[in-house]
Amino acid sequence: MKRSSGVRLCATAAVGALSFVLVTGCSGGDSGGDAKGSGTTAKALGAAELKKLIIAGGEVPGFKVGAVPATRSRAITSDSASCRPLARVMSGLPPADAAARTDRMATENQKKTPTAKPTSLDDVDEGTFEETMHKSLDRDITTVTLASYDGDGAEKPLASVSTAVKDCASGFPAQQAGTKLRFTKVAEEKATGTGDGSVAFTATMNSGDGDPAPARAEVVRLGNTLSVYFTTNLGAIMAKKAYTVSPEVVKAQQAKLK
């Protein structure tokens, strides 16, 4: 059965609407922020020290770890001050400026090679097309950011995320590269990481055709260092399948910090 032009257009629109969750992350993560710290004795780790502590290639089973591409540097912003920490986390940034930070991207290996190998999109029936697309895109992409603060300076940014999850439960407006976005709801989730404190949440955006587009994030504090995790999975979103912040990535990263 030939696919109609309507199905082709819907698929294109879905990928376009959901792709915003994959273009986040900050490639300039090895630079320092402008936080001044709390003045207590604990000093923030420098960017060079953080680079040694962040996950590297071969350290996360089932994932390829590399630099965050420059093409993913379009940060999500929000005019809502109370919800801004969530927008920053979903941009691969710490919830507040840090003394130093660094980042990496962990991309899950493709779970299963799609069986259909059409020579033309018009030769694929609707069901096969959707199944092939879902399988090819069904893998977690997680941005990992380490941010270090002076003294107890990491506690307030973590608390701001926890507060924002509650205050922004009914959603909030945002922008990315000049495009207006609307997150329709925010919900707290069970955190995967262990440390001195953690917050996990799901922020859902309407994809434009009525289907929800959820993005997952988690922030974990260990001493004066925050680990920020932001995970998307386009295949799972399109197939309306549940997914979480990649537990393998969180486990590997938190283990390096201990």
Instruction: Tell me the pLDDT tens digit for each residue of 115-141.
Output: 555 555 555 555 554 555 566 789 999
Residue 241, classified by CB atoms within 10 Å of its CB into exposed (0-12), middle (13-18) or buried (19+), is exposed
Q: What integer pLDDT is reported at residue 122 of this predicted model?
A: 58
Q: What integer pLDDT is reported at residue 110 of this predicted model?
A: 85
Q: What integer pLDDT is reported at residue 103 of this predicted model?
A: 96
Q: What integer pLDDT is reported at residue 124 of this predicted model?
A: 52
Instruction: Tell me the pLDDT tens digit for each residue of 227-249.
Output: 999 999 999 998 889 999 999 99
Q: Can you list the residues of the chain whose pLDDT is less than 70?
A: 1-40, 71-73, 112-135, 208-209
- For the domain that residue 179 is a member of, what is the CATH number? 3.40.1000.70
**Contacts for 76 with CB less than 8 Å, ≥ 6 apart:** 20, 24, 87, 88, 90, 91, 174, 175, 176, 181
Token reading at 242: 């549940």
pTM: 0.80
Count of beta carbons in the 10 Å neighbourhood of residue 84: 20
- How many domains does one find in the chain? 1
Token reading at 132: 């092939």
Q: What integer pLDDT is reported at residue 226 of this predicted model?
A: 98
Q: Which domain, by its residues, includes 137? A: 5-257
